[in-house]
Amino acid sequence: MNSFIIHGDICYSTDKNTLVTHEGGYLVCEHGFCKGVFDAIPDEYANLKIHDYSGMLVMPGMVDLHIHAPQYAYRGLGMDRELLDWLNTYAFPEESKYGDLSYADKAYTIFTDAIKKSATTRLVVFGTLHREATELLMDKLEQSGVVSFVGKVNMDRNAPDDLREASAKASLADTERFIKETQHKYNNTAPIITPRFTPSCSDELMQGLGELSKRYGVRVQSHLSENPGEVEWVRELCPWAENYGEAYNRFGLFGKPEKTVMAHCVYSDDNEIARMKENGVFIAHCPASNTNVASGIAPMRQYLDLDMNLGLGSDVAGGHSESLFTAMVDALQASRLYWRLVDQRQKPLNVTEVFYLATKGGGAFFGKVGSFEEGYECDAVILDDSLLPHPQKLSLQERLERAIYLGGDVKAMKAKVCRGKVIVRSEELGVRSEELGVRSFRKR
């Protein structure tokens, strides 16, 4: 069960500085876990089924640490506004529609279909404050085969009337019910505590969410130090907090006791960074969103050099695409602007580093995920990069770089594997496998 071999041109990270490539290699998956990548099939695996993707790129599935499912419906709109204005003009009016389950069903079907056909195999997702709609989203993500954490959003202040929960007590009761109903329901989908951000959650609500996280062992996601106006607003709302991060940390919502992912961290000060490092908080770098809503450029070189827990987020719909390939390119470009315009001591990121962020870096939030090293869960994406023709001879690393920049996930993806199960095949992407020369056979 979930045991096979993938043959192809294999790329994966072992650390932020190391990209391993095996041309014509064999990735062995046994019971959903990687046993390693080999130049020849070891004798003990000789009877496993082989999926032959000769000449194609084989890489770990992508990990999206921050995406808003209800915002997918209006991605690409309102990119001329800053964060707080954008929220009030686009995000909040759209999210209010999810009290209507028929609308939620239509919108979330579109979202989950797009995720299934993308290169993403793991994601951390914001829903809305509507519990029933969020559970519907979880049902659909479970059916898609990807692995996800999904949050029912909490908001009891500073929000439109139709998106402001009646009270902290009501919000907590609904969240506890959400956790109880979903925590053990799925194989691949789990709840995550989701205060939208400090401005939308009272201290009473934050205190209660921290207690729920601890009581049920549920992880946490939110936003941190994204925009100058937001940071100043938090300073006014929480004068007792030395920085934005402390507004979470005081309530047990900042990496301890449960794993936490914070999106953005564009304006984190030294004390906030030190606390994130101490608590093991994951940073979801969302470069497209930071650019689109004019928030700024996160200091990713500093975070990498400090060995912080780091990954990438598409942040749809602040980000305009669910593609982690797009996010990798955006991260490369943003880091060059940071180096050129902000601090020339902070050298730009390179392809090896952003590939690590999109796979093993973000994958660590899920455990041993995002690499083909022995013991890692087997998530894989196969690209037929012959569909991106070129006249020159390229190394495997150059082919990977080119596929990232040229949108290989959209133009050339042929299959996707999650936890050792094939969840997308070429037929579902509109291409017959016999047209690709892809075949499965047993080694004789």
Q: Are residues 320 and 407 in the same domain?
A: no
Q: Are residues 122 and 210 in the same domain?
A: yes
For residues 238 and 357, membership in a common domain is answered with yes
Domain boundary among 363, 390, 418: 363
pLDDT-wise least confident of 83-97, 156-170, 240-254 = 83-97
CATH number, domain at 30?
2.30.40.10
Q: For residue 116, is pLDDT > 70?
A: yes
pLDDT of residue 80: 75
* Top-confidence residue, 30 or 74: 30
| 325 in the same domain as 288 | yes
What value does the mean pLDDT take over residues 66-79?
89
Confidence check: pLDDT of 431 > 90: no
The number of angstroms, rounded, from the C-alpha of 153 to the middle of its chain's C-alpha atoms is 17
Q: What is the spatial distance between Cα 336 and Cα 346, in angstroms, rounded to a whole number?
A: 9
Whole-structure pTM value: 0.95
**Cβ neighbour number for residue 102 with a 10 Å cutoff:** 7
Same domain, 42 and 70: no
Q: What is the average pLDDT across 139-155?
A: 98
Last residue of a domain, one of 308, 337, 363: 363
Q: Are residues 38 and 129 in the same domain?
A: no
The pLDDT value given to residue 85: 85
- pLDDT on residue 86: 79
> CATH number, domain at 181?
3.20.20.140
Confidence of residue 1 (pLDDT cuts 50, 70, 90): low
Q: Both tokens of residue 76?
A: 């690409």
**Residue 50, domain extent:** 4-60+372-442
Stretch 400-415: mean pLDDT: 96
pLDDT tens track for 260-282: 999 999 999 999 999 999 999 99
Residues 168 and 135 in one domain: yes
Q: Grade residue 89 by pLDDT with cuts at 50, 70 and 90.
A: confident
Same domain, 21 and 122: no
State pLDDT tens for residues 164-218. Answer: 999 999 999 999 999 999 999 999 999 999 999 999 999 999 999 999 999 999 9
Instruction: Say whether both 67 and 37 belong to one domain.
Output: no
- In 3D, which of 156, 125, 362 has the Cα closest to residue 222? 125
Q: Is the peptide bond before 317 cis (omega within 30 degrees of 0)?
A: yes
CA 320: distance to chain centroid? 14
- Residue 17: the pLDDT is 98
Residue 234 — pLDDT band, cuts 50, 70, 90?
Answer: very high
- CB burial of 282-291 (b: ≥16 within 10 Å; e: otherwise) equals bbbbbbbbbb
Q: Which of 281, 269, 328, 337 minimizes the C-alpha distance to 309?
A: 281
- Give the end of a domain, one of 363, 387, 421: 363
User: Do residue 255 and residue 331 come from a single domain?
Assistant: yes
CB count within 10 Å of CB 217 equals: 11
pLDDT at 428: 63
* Shared-domain flag, residues 132 and 219: yes
Domain count of the fold of the chain? 2
Q: Give pLDDT tens digits for 119-128.
A: 999 999 999 9
pLDDT in tens, 293-316: 889 999 999 999 999 999 999 999
Are 173 and 39 members of one domain? no
Other beta carbons less than 10 A from residue 36's beta carbon: 15
**Burial of residue 93, with CB atoms counted within 10 A of its CB: 0-12 exposed, 13-18 middle, 19 or more buried:** middle
The predicted structure's pLDDT at residue 205: 98
